[in-house]
Amino acid sequence: MRETISALLANYEEAAAIILFVIGLTMLLFHGNLIKKLIGMNIMDTGSFLFLASMGYIDGRKAPILVDGYRGVEDYINPVPAGLVLTGIVVSVSVTAVMLSLSIRLYRRYHTLNVDDVYLLSRHQLEDR
């Protein structure tokens, strides 16, 4: 038990990332409100990004940009995870934008953002068809 806790504390960034991911996943799955689902999705993605960013960062090292000459491999961090996070953020933003526009459309039609309510409202139409 103590070993587990100390392992978690040593890797607190990764632990936090996984906790964030699970919180987001739960929100996305179980919240009825579409906006809250979207917030959940963003928290979930943030969890993944934190995981990536914490992997790329090494305490005491700098970004690999040469300002005053090359200082050796030991002086720089790995820039790839940061690049991945940036790409991931762009993807996440565009997905959020599309989902928000869908939410607006849904709200205009059914005057509610609760997916379960909308489902009930449209259920009779679905069954009749």
Partner 1 sequence: MGIDFIRNFPLFTIVLSLFSSVLCMMLDGRRAKRYTVCYECFLIALSCAVLWYVSETGEAFTYVMGEFPAPWGNEIRAGVLEALFAVMFLTILLCSVLGGWRFLLIDVEHSKINLYFTLINLLTAALMALIWTNDIFTGYVFLEILTLSSCGILIVREIGRTTLAAVRYMVLNLLGSGLFLLGVVLLYSLTGHLLMVPMRAAVAEIVAEGGVITITFSLAVLTIGLGIKSGLFPFYFWMPDTYGTATPASAAILSALVSKAYILLLFKIYWRVIGMEVFEQLPIRYLLFGLGILGMVFGSVSAIRANNIHHMVAFSSAAQTGYIYMGLGMGGPLGYVTALFQVLAHAVTKSLLFLTTPRLARVSGDSLLFQNLEGSAIRDKSAGIFFTLCSFSMVGIPIFAGFSAKLLFAVAAVETGNLGVLFATMLALAVSSVLNALYFIRTVIRVYTAGRGGADISAPRIYAEEHNDADTAEPVPDTGSRLSYWVPALILTGMNLFLGLFSWVTVDFIRRGLAMFA
Contact with partner 1 (CB under 8 A) among 12, 63, 64, 122:
122
Contact with partner 1 (CB under 8 A) among 19, 63, 89, 91:
91
The 3-state DSSP class for residue 71 equals coil
Give 10 or 80: the residue with its C-beta nearer to partner 1: 80
Residue numbers 23-82 binding partner 1 by CB under 8 A:
24-25, 28-29, 34, 37, 41, 44-45, 47-48, 51-52, 55, 80-81
Give 63 or 86: the residue with its C-beta nearer to partner 1: 86
| 7 touches partner 1 (CB under 8 A) | no
Here the tokens at position 30 are 């179980």
The 3-state DSSP class for residue 64 equals coil
- Specify whether the CB–CB gap between 42 and 20 falls below 8 A: no
Tell me how far, at minimum, the Cβ of 13 lies from partner 1, in Å: 12
Can you count the helices (H) and strands (E) in the chain? 5, 0
CA distance 41 to 97: 12
Tell me how far, at minimum, the Cβ of 129 lies from partner 1, in Å: 6
The 3-state DSSP class for residue 33 equals strand
Q: How far is CA 73 from CA 54, 62, 66, 82, in A?
A: 19, 11, 12, 17
The binding site for partner 1 (CB under 8 A) comprises 21, 24-25, 28-29, 34, 37, 41, 44-45, 47-48, 51-52, 55, 80-81, 84, 87-88, 91, 94-95, 98-99, 102-103, 105-106, 109-110, 115, 118-119, 122, 125-129
